[in-house]
Amino acid sequence: MRELTIESYGKINLALDVLYKRPDNYHEIKSVMQQISLKDKLIFTEINDGIVIESDNKELPLDSSNLIYKAWEKMKSISGINRGIKVKIEKNIPIAAGLAGGSSNGAATLKALNRLWDLNYTKEELMKIGLSLGADVPFCILGGTAKAEGIGEILTPIESFKDKYILLGNPGIGISSAYAYGKIKLNSYRYDIDGLIKCMENDDLSCVAKKMKNKMEDAIIKEHPIIQEIKKIMIENGALNAIMSGSGPTVFGLFHDLGKMNKAFDALLKRIDKVYKCTTI
């Protein structure tokens, strides 16, 4: 039986503007999505029938609500192939954390089955399939850095912004995207997403930091003030800026150098358990 290992990377939103609620009840966004080095490892093994999902994280749902399961069902439906798969997840990305861990796992499953079943779908075709699973799945297939519009599926690749120091602080609260969107207060103030991209292209981290904003942040912080506390600890210990990623509750800080990130890492560990050092990729 064939076996395949896929690395499943997390993502942050360097900026996230929510423009309006669409007639289809989704929200129109404008964002810059960035893949990060924090990753899960998924080991796929062919089996005769059905799907078996295993994980070292007991909090992770392993049933049909998991995007791995949904990706397997989708690939069976569109390909006409009905083969079994066993998936073992070595989970490092926190669950319901605003880091697209579930979406990334779903994207990894699409890529794995494309290879194991010799389907030969292009990356663009896989991204279209992925959109039916969730708005973040196409980016998780694309990877790198991209401007995201629409509900997140209209992606424009941006020049690489890799090897920047990112510190993640997660307070251990699960927040779903649907819940966060339901709490948001829309307004006409627009973030300078295109200006942020110019700062990134110029490799001006101080400029990038000034333009890092998240429209979801205020409403979620009101309910979970620990998010503001994490931001404060990061900035006091050398972060150029720190904001909530996506629907939260994870906060990420951008750093000029490793030494300051290590200092903030030590300070955060005195307050919360889930702290991760990583880079952009």
* Annotated domain spans of the chain: 3-157, 165-279
The CATH architecture of the domain made up of 3-157 is 2-Layer Sandwich (3.30)
- pLDDT, one tens digit per residue, over 73-126 is 999 999 999 999 999 999 999 998 999 999 999 999 999 999 999 999 999 999
pLDDT given at position 182:
85
- pLDDT, one tens digit per residue, over 19-39 is 999 999 889 999 999 999 999
Q: Is the pLDDT of residue 133 over 80?
A: yes
The amino acid at 21: K
What is the band of 178 on the pLDDT scale with cuts at 50, 70, 90? Answer: confident
Sign of the CA dihedral 68, 122, 38, 87?
A: positive
pLDDT given at position 175:
87
Residues whose CB is less than 8 angstroms from the CB of residue 200 and which lie 6 or more positions away in sequence, other chains included: 14, 32, 145, 158, 159, 161, 208
Query: What number of other Cβ atoms are within 10 A of residue 238's Cβ?
Result: 19
CA 72 centroid distance within chain: 20
DSSP code at position 280: B
Catalytic position from the list 30, 40, 74, 136: 136
74 is catalytic: no
DSSP secondary structure letters along 33-71: EEEEEEEEEEEEEEESSSEEEEES-TTS--STTSHHHHH
**Average pLDDT value over all residues in the chain:** 96
Fold assignment, 165-279: Alpha-Beta Plaits (3.30.70)
Query: What number of other Cβ atoms are within 10 A of residue 62's Cβ?
Result: 17
192 is catalytic: no
